[in-house]
Structure 1
Amino acid sequence: MVNSTSLLDDIMDVYEALNETRLTGFHYKILLTASLLYCLTALDVMLIGSVLPAIAAEWKLDKVTIGLLLSSGFVGMFFGAIIFGRLADVIGRKPTLAIVVVVESVFTALCGLAYDVNSMALLRFLAGIGLGGALPQPGVYVSEYVPAKYRGTFLGFIESSWVWGALLSLAFPIFLI
């Protein structure tokens, strides 16, 4: 039988050790990776809005259909957050992160091959599943590995990388359309 007081002491020792750790290259690798993930996730989320005027004109979409197309990715994100949140607890964060990046990337790339609004909505939904799994990852990694006195700074920097992804999404139509 495990002594609960001893287990709690061990947990507190790990927590204290983390908070007394100096920043290392490992922490900056987390910052860079998490910021890049957040930037690319923002690019993915925002890109549909940047190319939508051309898509709507090409496929002659009405406002309701445009709304359904836009919301399909967010519905996927809802399911992705639930599915991949649980999967991360079962198989680990690192393998789950690899899976969500592949899911997000593959289905976003396939959106370029969509031939009608239904195929685009399906692909956006599937990409959204990956996006939903990707969004919580940066915060989780920071909270698990970064000392408490640096967490706010790290999270602020990561959150600000969303802006760079959003700005990139505005540049893409120049090259895509």
Structure 2
Amino acid sequence: MKIFRNFFFFFRKNKELLQNKFIFKKNNVRFGDFPTINGTIFMRNNGGEIYFGKSVKVNSRANANPIGGDTRTIMCVGENAILKIGDLSGISNSSIICTTSVSIGNKVLIGGGTKIWDTDFHPLDPIKRMQEPNKNMVSKEVRIGNNVFIGGNSIILKGVSIGDNSVIGAGAVVTKNVPENEIWAGNPAKFIRKI
């Protein structure tokens, strides 16, 4: 039984590695070294740039992370948009939608089920939304500094900058800039204390 189980895990890991390498090639992803990915990542690049730094780790399978492990990691990058993930960062079963720019620094930990969006997805004006629901949406750069920890199931919205060494509490909805060395939590996220 143990031999069968070991063979199953070996086969699954190699199958996932080949699938992820194909996905990276198909989406023109550049990287410092190929990331460690538990599961199979979902990625769509519509003419933007995607870069992974060195020693990046990604969980992308329902059982890869006991918290927030009910989905896989999703990355969608729009035309002329730039998604950059820094060295030694870890992402767990999260989604990143990049229509302009999402920059994630070095040594960033992104908890399970987190969503990072640099767009509103649809126009806020109801008339424009009825006429052309996928045009005239507002997009603004998201920047996450170095050594940031983002708790599981958080939402980081467009135009937000999170300073170095800051912590975002689990389930937070971040709508405005977070200075460095601070803890923020809640919906909407508010300052809790200095680190």
Smaller-chain TM-score bracket: under 0.3
| TM-score where L is the length of structure 2 | 0.26
**Greater radius of gyration (CA):** 1
The structure with higher relative contact order (CA 8 Å, sep 6+) is 1
Choose between structure 1 and 2: higher strand proportion.
2
| TM-score where L is the length of structure 1 | 0.28
Choose between structure 1 and 2: higher helix proportion.
1
